[in-house]
Structures are given as C-alpha cells and as structure tokens.
Amino acid sequence: MRKVKILGLLGTGVIGGGWAARALHFGIDVIAADVKPEMEEWIRGAVANAEPALARLTMAPLPPKGKLSFTTDLKVMAQRADFIQENIPEQLPLKQRMLAEVSRNAAADVIIASSTSGLTPTDLQRDMLAPERFLVAHPFNPVYLLPLVELVGGEKTVQGTIDAAAKFFTYIGMHALHVRREVPGHLTDRLQEALWREILHLVNDGVATTGELDESIIYGPGLRWAAMGTNMIYHLAGGESGMRHMLAQFGPCLKWPWTKLEAPELTETLVDRMVEGTQAQAAGRSIRELERLRDDYLVAIQQVLRQYNIGAGATLRSLEERLYKDAATSHNATPAEPGKPLRLLDTVVRTEWVDYNRHMSDFRYGQVFGDAMDVLFRQVGVDEAYRDSGRMYYTVENHIKHLGEAKSGELLYVTAQVLKVDDKRLHVFQRLYRGRDDKQIATAEQMYLHVDTKAAKAGPADAKIRAKLESIAGQHAGLPAPPEAGRRVGRASH
Amino acid sequence: MRKVKILGLLGTGVIGGGWAARALHFGIDVIAADVKPEMEEWIRGAVANAEPALARLTMAPLPPKGKLSFTTDLKVMAQRADFIQENIPEQLPLKQRMLAEVSRNAAADVIIASSTSGLTPTDLQRDMLAPERFLVAHPFNPVYLLPLVELVGGEKTVQGTIDAAAKFFTYIGMHALHVRREVPGHLTDRLQEALWREILHLVNDGVATTGELDESIIYGPGLRWAAMGTNMIYHLAGGESGMRHMLAQFGPCLKWPWTKLEAPELTETLVDRMVEGTQAQAAGRSIRELERLRDDYLVAIQQVLRQYNIGAGATLRSLEERLYKDAATSHNATPAEPGKPLRLLDTVVRTEWVDYNRHMSDFRYGQVFGDAMDVLFRQVGVDEAYRDSGRMYYTVENHIKHLGEAKSGELLYVTAQVLKVDDKRLHVFQRLYRGRDDKQIATAEQMYLHVDTKAAKAGPADAKIRAKLESIAGQHAGLPAPPEAGRRVGRASH
C-alpha cells in the first residue's frame, strides 16, 4: 500500500470534520468531498474548533500542518487521495452505492475505509472494485481527541489492508483495535448500546432521569473505565484469585433481574475463557500491583477533574472547601514557635510528579513551595474572602536551589522562615526536606508583593494580616540568616 | 439523627475495608465487627494498603485520623456506633437476619445502611426494629477513592434518614446519589450489568477476548465517561439540536441487533423525557460550551494517563516518541541564528494550569521553562540514549522573576541565551513571552551541572555535546547581558 500523504474524506459531518482535524494536525493533507458546497465552510469551522484542544494534546514537535481542500466532485477526491475515509449517513444502500463509485475512481492500492458505527464490511464492500482494500475503521467522537479506532475486515478484505490501515492510524496518534469477527455494532458500540438501551428502559419506566443515570456512572465506574475495562476491574474486585473468584461470587446475580438483558449460561467453558483472558491482560502482574496502578490513576484523574470543577472533581473541590473551613475554625493549628521556622506542609511525591529519571521533576519543587506558601497565607488571613475583596500577594521572584532528590511516594515537608515584612513586601525563605532522612533537598528564597488587583498595582496589605506576618517575623528574628539567601545564581553558599 | 463520630461496620471484606479506610482518613472512628477474629488483621492490612493513595487525594488540612477497633461481638459494635454500615455477603435471608439483630441492639436514632449491590431496601428492612432509619447506601470499589454512593430508601424509610445519611457521606468526601425508586440493581449496577452481560455474550460467542473488549472501552467511551455520562455525551453528538437530533438519527438503530438487549419503543413520551432530561443537565450551557469542557478534560486525562503509561496515555507516549524521533532526523530544526536568542518552545496555557486567580500558577512558569530546556537538550544531543548511558544535566539553581500574567488558552513562547559553558556547568538565561502582545512575562536564570548518574557525582559532558553548546554560546557572546541575570532576590534589575 502507498504512503499516505493525502487523506480523502467522503462526507463531512461531525465525524468527517473530526478526521480532518486529526489528520491535518499530524501533517497529513486532507481533501474533503461533499455534494453540498456549503459544507466547505462547515468543515473549516470544525477544524478550527478542534484546534485549541488538539494544540494542547502534546508538546512534542509536530511536522508542518497539513493543507485542507474541498471539492463537490467525488471523482477528484478519489483520484488524488492516498487513503479514503467514508463518513456518510448510516444507510446501507447509500453507503454501498457511494463506496462502489469511489472504488471505480481510486487506484487499486488506495485503501478505502468506512466510519460506520455498526454496518458490517462484507455488506459494504459488496459492489466495490478491488474490495480487498476495503475495511471498516470506526472512530469515536471527538475523533480528534479519542484514540480508539476499530478495524474490521469483510470476507474479501486481505490482511495487508488491515495492517496498512493500522499503521496509518497509529501515525496520526490512534490506537487501532482489530475486531477479528464481523458482528453488527462491532465491539464498542455493542457494549455502549447495551448500556444505552438499559438507560432508555429506566427513563421509560420512570425510575430515573437522564441526569441521575449520568451521575450513576461519572462518580463511580466511569472513573475506572478511563484506563481499565470491566474485565480488568472485576478481576481486581475478586481478591487474590481474581476473575475466577468474582465469577463464583457474582455468578448467581446473572440470573437476577439486574438488567433487562439476559446473560448467557455461565458454563465451564465461558468461565475458563474469562479467566484466561484476564490472566493474559494481567500479564504476570499481581492483584496488589494492579490495584496500586488503578488507585494511582483514580487519584490523578480526580485531581485533574477538580481543576475543571466537573464530576468527581467537583466533589473533591467541595470536600476541600469544607476541610479548609474546618481547619481555619479549629484550635488545632500549629502556632509559631519562637526561634523555630514554621512547619507549613507535609506532603507526598505523587507518581505523576516523577520524570524519566524517576525523581521528582524540577518544577514540582516549585509547586510544593507554592502549596506551603498557600498554607502560610491562609494562616495569616489571606483567604478566599480576602482575595474576593481585590487584594492578594503576588510572587515577584523565586530562587530555588536543588540539593537532593525525591522519589515517587516519598514523604516531604516544608518549613519557612519569614525574613522581612513591610507594608507591601514579604520576603520568605523556605526549606524542603525529605521525610525519611530529614535531608534538606531544596531551598527557595521568595519575594512577594501585595497587590490591589482592581487598581492593578502594588498596595498595602490589611493591617491585621501585616501584624500577623510581623509577629512571625519577630519570632524568626533570632534565627541565623540562611546561607543560601541573598545570593545570585552560581555563587556557592557553602 | 445524631452526629457521627463512630462508624460501625458489620462485615469486613473488600467493601468493609474500603469504608474503614475512607472514614478513618477523614477523622471518623471505626468499630468493625466480624465473627471471624482473623479479620482484624485483614482489615488493618486493608486500611494500610489504602493509605498511600488516600494520602495523595487532597492536600487540604485533615483532622486527626480516626481510630480503628475490632470486635467479634456484633452487640458491642451496635451499642457503640453512631452509624452502622452492613457489608456481609449478598444473600437476602442472611442480611435480613443480621440487620434485624443489629437493629435490636442499636439506639433508634442510629442509622443502619446496607452496602448491597442490588437487593432492595424494602426486603432488607422487613424484620428490623425502627426500620424507618434503614436505607441502602451502595458504594463502589475502591470505596476509599470513588466518591459515588447510591442511597435508596425502602417503603418504611423516612426522608430524614436519606438526608442525614447524605450529610454523613458528603462529610467523608462522597457524592450521594438519591435513587428515588427501588429496582433490583439500583441504577449503577443495572447499567454496568447490561454492559457486563453483553461482554459475556461476546466472549461466549467467540467474537472477542476480555482484553479486546476492555480495549474497546478504555481508548474511547471510557475516557468520556470519566466526567460525562452517555446521555450528555449523546446530547453533544447531536449537533446544535442535541439529544432530539441524536434520537432522530440513531433511533432506527434501536431496532438493529447491536446488542442482545432489546430497546423499549421510542415513543413521543420517551423522546420528550430524554430531551427534557438532557436540557436540564446542560443547564443553559450551549453545545459548543459543553464540547469545550469535554475536550478540556479529555486532553487533561490523557496527559495524566501518559504519566502512568496506561491506556490512552500509553498511546500518547508512543506517538510522542515517534514525533521526537522524526523531529531529530528531519532537517527542519531551527538553527541558531547568530546574535539572536534561540526560540525553543511555543506552547499554550492549559486550563488546568490556571489558579483561583484565573492566571497561570507560579509553578507552571517553572514547568514551561523546564520544557523549553528539554528542547535545547534534545537539540544538542542530550536524549534518551545519552541518559541511558548514565549521563545528564541536573538543575542546580533556578531564579525566576515574574513580570506579567497569562490566562488560560494564551499562546506562550520561550527564548534562551546561553551565558556560559564549561566541561561541567551550563549557565542559561530564558525569557517567557506572551504570544498575543510579545510581552515578556517572566525570566529564568538557571545553572545546570553535568552529572555521571552511576557515580552520583559531577562529571564532564560528552565532547560533542559540549561543542554544540559552546557553538551556541559563541553565537550569543555578542548579545547584551540580561539585566535580570546575576542579581539576588529583591535587588531590582531596572
């Protein structure tokens, strides 16, 4: 099969637009064909809308973007494209007719793929010229962000077609899943459709609203499904003997009316297939090891969702607001001890903080120092209400010195010494320690400026806040000056 | 209902252990009851295993951890607990008997909840004393990380019980979903079970393996389900007219054999309920706005998963390796222009980089400067192979000055000026610019040390790498010295 430099699109709806955006982004030219000339503007808009998200997917260097052209003449597209992707409405006779026409206009080494959600390739390739180069390549919305593409060959499709298509889709950042047997709906849509039809029943029977049913997924199983499927998840739920135990325990439920879908008989053969399948997936990893992986990604995803205040992230955010409020009103806050730096933060190195070197990335040191300063600011009264009043401290400078390393899972703590406070400026020195050996692994010398955010300029801090900071500075006045402070870069401190 | 200070657990399997870990972490004491004394050690182990992940869930200040005690005497637990959660095997007569016994030993204002996956509360509360304080509270594994808990009342349950239970579960960080009608399997397990039974059919029919079926979810719909359910996702797939268009377009598929589950008739009433439900979920937000939210979290989740090299994150990682390799072998790399700093990186402020102030967080400046340095290192030959040979540059110091702000979605670029190179040290000055107005918003003065990682000490860089860096330093020799470089914190540069 030929190298793909130009992708031809037959049909330009939501799916066609998604294919165009993805291909262009990874340097492939696209020629889109649609009988309706107004679709040119539409597809250009779709590509533009996809770009902001696509631009953030990876920071790796990209080849120059591909060029998009449009034609209402299917033949022109078929003659110029190196790979053709069909995305027209889900009607078998229409798809058969158009695919046959395209096949008569494209060279025999041009792969032709259909985005069909559920029609089978043997039906679709029936009237084509050179049907051996045809396959189903079923993507998921938004095509420009979701990596999955299901590849299904028909009776006349040759293996070389599947292999070459997989290579092309991998090139544009996708995960090609070879579906080895033709069934209506392929694999993914069969699973989605079962869930969807159960939703329709529950709404139809007045049991729940669409919103309640969505909540029933996104706060629970949906979080797990982002990186492990039902089989692996159930393998983990079965304890040390995994899927076999799980099937023994929940097998009887398959007879219960937990869905309107009847289960197959749980024969020995089926149990064996389920167990062998999940053992292959586990690939020698213990239940405990897989649980840790699951827990790691569940924590990390919830922290990402918190940034967007959506789903489980919104729950986490509400929880934290309550915790901060409780901490502020409790009498348990550690008071400043005269003659000792404040211990502000105890934390743990997250797995996703670690770089290729298996040590905490440089910029995460800055994050930990920043989190520690947030604790200090809350303690002296710089909280949400204060910020809402249009006042806050801005970081002006931060000079970090690295003295040691930390690995994933290690405990860390941060202490701070207030060097100087005036009406606008706050000069602080922080030390980051590794919990296991109390080794100091970094220092940070920081200058903050108090700002009136409405006037967008420096302004004096609230008197109460300044007084609290000055009280701390007073307690720190007797501490020795940190040797690392007041030095320029490259000037050794010891 | 009383304030919950002590949670009583009846039964201590995987679910009981999960409840214990979650409650203890958020400051609630736990008394666990199990007839088998060996379960004490088990539950203590389960709590210890949950702790590393739980400890990373939030950095908000936590109350002191709760205390765990264990008893084989159900009565002792029932008399001491303020709230009782039952987690024994899924057998109706056993649960009925045990719940009745517990109810006779617990004060009437103590809520009793069952973790049952699918039994109904009316059946479970049948023989209880004061059955109005009973409900189903169904959690999901791992209970200590997933926020979902389904609350279902039986015929004798009063609303006050549901409300008080919701308050308690929210306190320990959960999302309480009130299931308003009793059905076997509640809501979540009905949806999961439909998908699960379709999996069993596909494996039974020899269509696919468990691994293929898991892939069919995790690279596609599973990523979406982490924060939006099927209904919202289909609403977005319907274009501007949302769910109504989607049902018109895919309604006919409901008659097709895309799953072994038959769909209900798509009546006008059902269509109206689906449309009204999703409109309520959208809450006035346009399709475009919701698409942006979906795209944002899909990008962010894939970046998190990349750190764990799992699912879609593994796909992204492979893609990036290919892109870096292609970039290294292409002749398109920007050469150093004599007399100009190197332009190393063009990037975009990600939504999750922004803090409460709607500006890029301080530590993200460090991340961008670090990413830019990675580009420079790759350009001069410090790549994976070099690191694998046991050599690399470590950051010793980083002095960042903040001069301006950046908002979500803004373009940024970084330039670098090489100040000095010797056999071990590399002194660099970087500037971060905002794309829209070319305003310099930060500078970073950095010192790197070349290290022999096996010997764990400084060592000379490879001669070729040093030569490349010296060539750049030579081209930069005529540039003016940056006014911000060589200054200590608090010493103004202009």
- Residues in B closer than 8 angstroms to A234, CB to CB, are 196
Please, which pLDDT band fits residue B330 given cuts at 50, 70 and 90? low
Looking only at the bridges linking them, the beta strands covering B134-139 and B111-114 are parallel
Q: Is the pLDDT of residue B336 over 80?
A: no
Work out the number of other CB atoms within 10 angstroms of the CB of residue B331.
5
A92 vs B: CB within 8 A? no
B362 vs A: CB within 8 A? yes
Q: Is the pLDDT of residue A334 over 60?
A: no
C-alpha–C-alpha distance, residues B315 and B308, integer Å: 11
- Residues in A closer than 8 angstroms to B274, CB to CB, are 200, 203, 210
C-alpha–C-alpha distance, residues B115 and B130, integer Å: 19
Q: What is the pLDDT of residues B366-398, one digit of tens each?
A: 999 999 999 899 889 998 889 889 999 999 999
B483 vs A: CB within 8 A? no
C-alpha–C-alpha distance, residues A451 and A457, integer Å: 6
Question: Does domain A6-178 match CATH 3.40.50.720?
Answer: yes
Contact B52 A266 (CB under 8 A): no
pLDDT at residue B335, rounded to an integer: 58
Query: If you average pLDDT over residues A127-151, what whole number do you get?
Result: 97
B291 vs A: CB within 8 A? yes
Q: What is the pLDDT of residues A400-420, one digit of tens each?
A: 999 999 998 888 999 999 999
B236 vs A: CB within 8 A? yes
B483 vs B76, more confident: B76
ipTM of the complex: 0.86
Residue A258's contacts (CB-CB under 8 Å, 6 or more residues apart) are: B118, B184, B185, B189, B190, B193
C-alpha–C-alpha distance, residues A34 and A40, integer Å: 8
For residue B135, count CB atoms less than 10 angstroms from its CB and return exposed for 0-12, middle for 13-18, buried for 19 or more: buried
- Residues in B closer than 8 angstroms to A199, CB to CB, are 191, 230-231
CA–CA min distance A480, chain B (Å): 18
Please, which pLDDT band fits residue A470 given cuts at 50, 70 and 90? very high
pLDDT at residue A494, rounded to an integer: 41
pLDDT at residue A311, rounded to an integer: 96
Asked, as a colleague might, if the bond just before A142 is cis with ω within 30 of 0, I would say yes
Looking only at the bridges linking them, the beta strands covering A6-10 and A83-86 are parallel
> B188-204 and A210-218 helices cross at what angle (nearest 10)?
70
Classified by CATH at the fold level, domain B6-186 comes out as Rossmann fold (3.40.50)
Q: Is the pLDDT of residue B412 over 80?
A: yes
- Residues in A closer than 8 angstroms to B318, CB to CB, are 170
Determine which helix (DSSP H) or strand (DSSP E) holds A400, and give its type and residue range: strand A391-402
Query: If you average pLDDT over residues A137-157, what whole number do you get?
Result: 97
pLDDT at residue B326, rounded to an integer: 84
Looking only at the bridges linking them, the beta strands covering A148-152 and A175-178 are parallel
Q: Is the pLDDT of residue A376 over 50?
A: yes
C-alpha–C-alpha distance, residues B421 and B470, integer Å: 6
Please, which pLDDT band fits residue B249 given cuts at 50, 70 and 90? confident
A177 vs B: CB within 8 A? yes
Residue B12's contacts (CB-CB under 8 Å, 6 or more residues apart) are: B20, B32, B33, B34, B39, B42, B43, B46, B87
Contact A236 B488 (CB under 8 A): no
Q: What is the pLDDT of residues B419-444, one digit of tens each?
A: 999 999 999 999 999 999 999 999 99
A466 vs B: CB within 8 A? no
pLDDT at residue B494, rounded to an integer: 41
- Of the candidates B52, B204, B230, the beta carbon closest to that of A195 is on B230
Q: Is the pLDDT of residue A187 over 90?
A: yes
**Average pLDDT of chain B?**
93
Q: Give the tokens for residue B261.
A: 């589950």
C-alpha–C-alpha distance, residues B28 and B20, integer Å: 9
Phi, psi for residue A398 in degrees, rounded to 5: -145, 115
Residue A456's contacts (CB-CB under 8 Å, 6 or more residues apart) are: none
Determine which helix (DSSP H) or strand (DSSP E) holds A33, and give its type and residue range: strand A29-33
B229 closest CA partner among B245, B240, B243, B212? B243
Contact B490 A49 (CB under 8 A): no
Give the 3-state secondary structure of residue B480: coil
Contact B363 A361 (CB under 8 A): no
pLDDT at residue B493, rounded to an integer: 46
Phi, psi for residue B464 in degrees, rounded to 5: -65, -40
| Range list of H helices, B149-204 | 159-171, 188-204
Query: If you average pLDDT over residues B300-309, what whole number do you get?
Result: 92
Determine the straight-line distance between the first and last CA of chain B, rounded to whole angstroms. 65
Q: How many A×B Cβ pairs under 8 Å?
A: 614
Which of A190, A235, A358, A430 would you mutate first to test chain B, the one with the most B CBs within 10 A? A190
Please, which pLDDT band fits residue B447 given cuts at 50, 70 and 90? very high
Q: What is the pLDDT of residues B450-478, one digit of tens each?
A: 999 888 899 999 999 999 999 999 999 98
Asked, as a colleague might, if the bond just before A338 is cis with ω within 30 of 0, I would say no
B59 vs A194, more confident: A194
Contact B261 A488 (CB under 8 A): no
Q: What is the pLDDT of residues A344-366, one digit of tens each?
A: 988 888 878 888 778 999 999 99
Q: How far is CA A327 from the centre of its chain?
A: 31
- Residues in A closer than 8 angstroms to B324, CB to CB, are 60-61
| B310, closest residue in chain A (CA to CA) | A227
State the pTM of this model. 0.86
pLDDT at residue B334, rounded to an integer: 56
Q: What is the pLDDT of residues B7-58, one digit of tens each?
A: 999 999 899 999 999 999 999 999 999 999 999 999 999 999 999 899 889 8
| Domain residue limits, chain B | 6-186, 219-332, 334-476
B325 vs A: CB within 8 A? no
Q: What is the pLDDT of residues B136-173, one digit of tens each?
A: 999 999 999 999 999 999 999 999 999 999 999 999 99
Q: Is the pLDDT of residue B61 over 70?
A: yes
Give the 3-state secondary structure of residue B242: helix
CA–CA min distance B378, chain A (Å): 11
**CATH superfamily for domain B334-476:** Hotdog Thioesterase (3.10.129.10)
- Of the candidates A173, A226, A319, the beta carbon closest to that of B173 is on A319
